Amino acid sequence: MIIEFPKQGKNRLLTEDEMKAIGLMFWQANILARRTVAEWSLRKKKPTQDEMFNLAATLHSAEATAEEIMSSPPGDGHRAIDWMKVIVKQIERLNPADAS
């Protein structure tokens, strides 16, 4: 499967491995966002600006990683997988049952 993305007037073909890696990364980013918002809704204290900024920065980094893959030579998508591992670690630190 090869997908074309327009980038500054040029098309960049993504390999199947790159698409799978980007898909997995955004799937995990979606989980992080949903679980973070759920955790915030269960506690009495509103999320701080730092907490909101950190979530936004993580989601932005996932988007930047995908854009970097689209503008670099074809590969195996390892950049997205590496960033996905960072996101998964953030998910693992969430524990809505302990929210206060």
Domain boundaries along the sequence of the chain: 22-94
Overall average pLDDT of the 1-21 stretch: 70
Which pLDDT does position 53 carry in this prediction?
A: 96
Which pLDDT does position 9 carry in this prediction?
A: 52
Which pLDDT does position 100 carry in this prediction?
A: 43
Tokens (6 digits) for 20: 């799978």
SS3 content of the chain, % helix, strand, coil (to 5): 70, 10, 20
The answer to whether residue 25 scores a pLDDT higher than 90 is yes
Q: Is 22 exposed, middle or buried (0-12, 13-18, 19+ CB in 10 A)?
A: buried
Q: Residue 43 — very low, low, confident or very high, per pLDDT cuts 50/70/90? A: confident
Do 55 and 36 contact (CB within 8 A), yes or no? yes
Higher pLDDT, 58 or 69: 58
Radius of gyration of the chain (CA): 16
Overall average pLDDT of the 8-30 stretch: 84
